[in-house]
Structures are given as C-alpha cells and as structure tokens.
Amino acid sequence: MKIELIDFDLKGDERGSLIAIEANKNIPFDIKRVYYIFATKLNVVRGKHAHKKLKQVAVTVHGSCKILLDDGQEQKEITLNSPNLGLVIREMIWREMYDFSEDCVLLVLASEGYDENDYIRVHEEFMELVEK
C-alpha cells in the first residue's frame, strides 16, 4: 500500500508560522466538510471503520497520534506529529487512530458531507468488499 503524505508549504517569518490549505491545490479533492478531534482520552482507539466513497486528509495541527491504515492486504502504521504533514486516507481503507497525546488536535478535511451510510463498521464486511 502506498502511503500518501502531503508536505505542506510552511510560510514562516520572524512572527511565526502559517500553513495554507486549499481544495484541489494541496488537497487532492473539493473540501466539503472539516472536523477536528481533540481531548481524546488515554488508551482510546477511534475510527475502526472504512468509507465507501469518502476521501480525507488528516493533519495533527497540535500534538501527535498514530493511524493504522489497512487496504485489506497490508496494514501500515503512520505517526502524525507535525502540522506540516497531511495523511491522505482514500476510500475503502480501514483506519484506526490511537496513541493520542493529551494535547493532540487532529484536523480532518473531507471530500463529502457526513453520511452514516458511507461507513463500513464491520471488518469482515470490509474484507468481503475489498476481495470482490
């Protein structure tokens, strides 16, 4: 599985840093929704699902966490610990997020609005679909 990481261009000067995110420029889709995950409790595993259509980019704008990606054949663990780095999570990829630092703010840019019908929440179902 190819891991797609976006290295955001850092606009830094003597005042500090700025990163600009733009749909179809440094993000490979139209951004229809933005959400962020924070104040995650110790030892919590979030995610544990795949999406049928949704594409996303995840950025730890503060702190760190780990993300496991599973395409049905291979699993890879990515540590996100920089606001400079965006992880692309495409459709039909099982994801789990864990080892959140106390101060982690995980920003997620999504290609579609929220749709519960787009979620695959059972791993066996996900495996059946990817094997088809």
SS3 labels along the chain:
CCCCEEECCEEEECCEEEECCCECCCECCCCCEEEEEECCCCCCCEEEEEECCCCEEEEEEECCEEEEEECCCCEEEEEECCCCEEEEECCCCEEEEECCCCCCEEEEEECCCCCHHHEECCHHHHHHHHHC
Q: From residue 92 to residue 131, what is the string marking binding to ligand T46 with x (rule CB under 6 A)?
A: ---x-x----------x-----x-----------------
Among 11, 20, 23, 35, binds ligand T46 (CB under 6 A): 35
Interface stretch with ligand T46, choices 5-13, 21-29, 30-38, 72-80 (CB under 6 A): 30-38
Among 19, 31, 37, 61, binds ligand T46 (CB under 6 A): 37
> Is 46 among the residues that bind ligand T46 (CB under 6 A)?
yes
Q: Site residues (CB under 6 A) for ligand T46? A: 33, 35, 37, 46-47, 56, 95, 97, 108, 114
